[in-house]
A and B are shown apart, each in its own frame.
Chain A
Amino acid sequence: MHLFFQELLNGLVVGSLYALVALGLALIYGTMQVPNFAHGHLYMLGAYVAFFGVTVAHIGYWPSMLLAIVVLALVGILLERLVFRPLSNAPEVNTIIAAVGVLFFLQTLAQVWFGGDYRVFPSPYDRVVHFAGLVATQQQLIIIVAAAVLMVALFWFLKRTLTGATIEAVAQNRAGAALVGIDTNRVSMMVFAISAGLAAAAATLIASISLISPSMGFTVILKAFAIIVLGGMGSVPGAIIGAYILAFAESFAGTYISSNYQDAIAFGVLVLILTFKPTGLFAKGT
């Protein structure tokens, strides 16, 4: 039973990270119908910017996270303007191909910049905390709390502010939103900035307990897609719930079944859902 609660805790940590990444992907898909295959590589780039902040610029952990969020938000805006907006009327396949081009570029950029090796940057919060017989590092607890804070902040922004409401409006009906005077291009740019910023925050949080490498985006992006298919493409609450479900499933399967195939669970879930429900779980009506 003790092992069970320990795995529950680990699942909570991983789920928090998945949620931050999948949230951004869902936000972009919901408002622009763009499956951003480069999202995992934005996350990777965020990890490297934070790595740079901590180990090269020595500006400390939290300022490095802020730096990563700001830089990635700018990269997100740039991508929207230069790559995805011009393709908004092109066939769906072209958008995916363009995203593949972006992903190749970002991965090589990270390789040129920091080399292809696995790296880790020290967390200032590596003390071990014992609580009711469970073991966790401070960093793990910070991940859970920070992710929750970011998600609550995002919900507050989407539901309680006028700017956030414009995002919801575009997600519901792009043409209708444009008709009542909402600048849909501004919304697209904002969504890309938020999405990339969240990915950067997630990357900074995980980078200090896990290794970072230029190819770390590949697994993450497919898991994030599995999550948003699970949660209903483009649904933000669905993405969060899907993230925790997947993380718990992985955590328990890793302990009780086999850790070799832990990564395959996400894809198994994805394949099963699309097999029985080709339009995805909780698909929004069009």
Chain B
Amino acid sequence: MRRVLWILAAAIAVALPFLVPKSFYLQIIASAYITAIAVYGLNVILGYTGLLNLGHAAFFGIGAYAVALLQTKAGWPFWPALLAGCAASVLFGALVGMISLRTRGNYFAIFTAAVGVMIAIVFTNWQDLTGGNIGIVNIPPPPPIGPLTFDGDVPKYYLVLAALALTILICVLVRNSLIGRTFVAIADNEDLARATGVNVARVRLTAFMLSTFLAGLAGGMFAMYNGNLGPDQTGLDITFEQLLFLVIGGIGTIAGPLVGTLVLVEISQQLQGVQQYRFLIFGPMLVLLVRFFPMGIVGGFNRLTARWVRP
């Protein structure tokens, strides 16, 4: 049943450029995929280990700025720049994780929020490197691989889709692996996990680094897809928005980040004209969700189907 839904979703995603004639719509969906990749990263740390990283958008920013700067200033081609961007994000994640993961609960959220805002301040103020508030423009499209070229909306859409597919694959593999089960064990009961021999600190750091890797990947895709980049993509409000997508989709589920992002992006699209007021609805919705329906759309769906579908 679930496998059928996944195959159906994949088929629609692949066929989408032929189904929608307007490239405007394709751009919105591709942007939603990029956000979804970042939300998957947030899900790894919040959903699997129960820690709320409020600096998530800053790691997105590190990946994005690294990819953009390596291309525009150092003249690197896109592909090695993307690898380096993800690596930069993970390295920074390891550094921040080693320090921040010593704190717990509220302190972790406050600490990561502060780190995130500091990184955003650096992006805004280091004008010589980052272009300040204007940011970086004219980021070149990826160079062709053999017959495949990547300038134009449709090939870029497929590139983003491939990154999303890779992200989901990684999440599924991690979730079903020993390390993924250890993540959940720690979130459920830290003391018990430690008693059974789990190295809690190392496992948490692994989760944090995987989370920042996905944030960096999303950032790199953002720089590539949009061709420009500014510090407003790295702020605390962006993390909050990603958190909203995750909570609505379903924290800790595999499909949640994608479903939450697509549903909310679609609703925002329908609110043409009053779009900037969407948080008058989304804000209270978030409050109601954590109170009455903390499992989100996908969590609720899983609970419903678990009754009458054997896995």
Residue pair B110, A91 in contact (C-beta under 8 Å): no
Is A93's beta carbon under 8 Å from chain B?
A: yes
Q: How far is B284's CA from A103's CA once the two chains are assembled, in angstroms?
A: 10
Among A1-37, those with CB < 8 Å from B are 33, 35
Q: Which of A98, A264, A275 contacts B99 (CB 8 A)?
A: A275
Q: A222-B114, A271-B114 are in contact. Are A96 and B109 (CB under 8 A)?
A: yes
Q: Which of B121, B243, B283 contacts A105 (CB 8 A)?
A: B283
Q: A105-B279, A108-B277, A261-B125 are in contact. Are A98 and B117 (CB under 8 A)?
A: no
Residue pair A35, B109 in contact (C-beta under 8 Å): yes
Contacts of A270 on B, CB cut-off 8 Å? 110-111, 114
Q: Which listed segment binds B: A67-75, A82-90, A128-136, A244-252?
A: A82-90
Is A193's beta carbon under 8 Å from chain B?
A: no
Q: How many residues of A contact B (CB 8 A)?
A: 47
Contacts of A35 on B, CB cut-off 8 Å? 106, 109-110
Q: A101-B283, A108-B277, A108-B283 are in contact. Are A271 and B243 (CB under 8 A)?
A: no
Q: Identify the interface centre among B103, B106, B236, B247: most chain A CB within 10 Å of its CB.
A: B106
Among A102-149, those with CB < 8 Å from B are 102-109, 111-112
Among B259-297, those with CB < 8 Å from A are 276-280, 282-287, 290-291, 294
In the complex, the chain A residue whose C-beta lies closest to that of B103 is A278
Is B237's beta carbon under 8 Å from chain A?
A: yes
Q: A35-B106, A92-B106, A275-B99 are in contact. Are A267 and B114 (CB under 8 A)?
A: yes
Q: How far is B287's CA from A226's CA once the two chains are assembled, in angstroms?
A: 25
Q: A91-B50, A263-B121, A275-B99 are in contact. Are A218 and B236 (CB under 8 A)?
A: yes
Residue pair B111, A274 in contact (C-beta under 8 Å): yes
Residue pair B114, A107 in contact (C-beta under 8 Å): no
Q: A107-B279, A218-B236 are in contact. Are A101 and B111 (CB under 8 A)?
A: no
Q: A104-B240, A105-B279, A264-B118 are in contact. Are A98 and B111 (CB under 8 A)?
A: no
Contacts of A100 on B, CB cut-off 8 Å? 240, 243-244, 286
Binary interface profile of B, 242-256, with partner A (CB < 8 Å = 1, else 0)?
011001000000000
Residue pair B283, A104 in contact (C-beta under 8 Å): yes
Residue pair A98, B105 in contact (C-beta under 8 Å): no
Q: A112-B277, A260-B125 are in contact. Are A278 and B240 (CB under 8 A)?
A: no
Contacts of A103 on B, CB cut-off 8 Å? 240, 283
Residue pair A94, B111 in contact (C-beta under 8 Å): no
Residue pair B283, A102 in contact (C-beta under 8 Å): yes
Contacts of A43 on B, CB cut-off 8 Å? none
Is A152's beta carbon under 8 Å from chain B?
A: no
Q: Which of B107, B115, B280, B287 contacts A112 (CB 8 A)?
A: B280
Q: A101-B284, A226-B114, A261-B121 are in contact. Are A93 and B50 (CB under 8 A)?
A: yes
- Cβ-Cβ contact count across A and B, 8 Å cutoff: 126
Q: What's the minimum C-beta distance from B158 to chain A, rounded to whole angstroms?
A: 33
Residue pair B114, A101 in contact (C-beta under 8 Å): no
Binary interface profile of B, 95-109, with partner A (CB < 8 Å = 1, else 0)?
000011011111101
Contacts of B118 on A, CB cut-off 8 Å? 264, 267-268, 271
Binary interface profile of B, 36-56, with partner A (CB < 8 Å = 1, else 0)?
000000000010001010000
Q: How far is B104's CA from A280's CA once the two chains are assembled, in angstroms?
A: 11
Q: A83-B287, A100-B244, A105-B280 are in contact. Are A274 and B113 (CB under 8 A)?
A: no
Q: How far is B237's CA from A100's CA once the two chains are assembled, in angstroms?
A: 9
Among A239-263, those with CB < 8 Å from B are 260-261, 263
Is A48's beta carbon under 8 Å from chain B?
A: no
In the complex, the chain B residue whose C-beta lies closest to that of A226 is B114
Is A97's beta carbon under 8 Å from chain B?
A: yes
Residue pair A274, B121 in contact (C-beta under 8 Å): no
Q: How far is B110's CA from A105's CA once the two chains are assembled, in angstroms?
A: 21
Q: How far is B288's CA from A82's CA once the two chains are assembled, in angstroms?
A: 10
Q: How far is B235's CA from A94's CA once the two chains are assembled, in angstroms?
A: 21
In the complex, the chain B residue whose C-beta lies closest to that of A228 is B110
Q: How far is B239's CA from A103's CA once the two chains are assembled, in angstroms?
A: 13
Q: Identify the interface centre among B109, B110, B237: most chain A CB within 10 Å of its CB.
A: B110
Q: A100-B243, A100-B286, A222-B117 are in contact. Are A109 and B280 (CB under 8 A)?
A: yes
Contacts of B50 on A, CB cut-off 8 Å? 91, 93
Contacts of A82 on B, CB cut-off 8 Å? 287
Q: How far is B52's CA from A35's CA once the two chains are assembled, in angstroms?
A: 13
Q: Which 6 A-B pairs have the closest CB atoms?
A: A105-B283, A101-B286, A104-B283, A104-B279, A267-B114, A108-B279
Pick 29 A–B contacts, CB within 8 A, sort by A.
Answer: A35-B106, A35-B110, A86-B291, A93-B109, A97-B243, A98-B286, A98-B287, A100-B240, A100-B243, A101-B283, A101-B284, A101-B286, A101-B290, A102-B287, A104-B240, A104-B286, A105-B279, A108-B278, A109-B280, A111-B277, A112-B280, A218-B235, A222-B117, A229-B107, A233-B106, A270-B111, A274-B99, A274-B100, A275-B99
Q: A91-B50, A104-B244, A108-B277 are in contact. List 4 more A-B contacts (CB 8 A).
A: A35-B110, A101-B284, A102-B287, A105-B279
A contact residues vs B (CB 8 Å cutoff): 33, 35, 82-83, 86-87, 90-94, 96-98, 100-109, 111-112, 215, 218, 222, 225-226, 229, 233, 260-261, 263-264, 266-268, 270-271, 274-275, 278-280
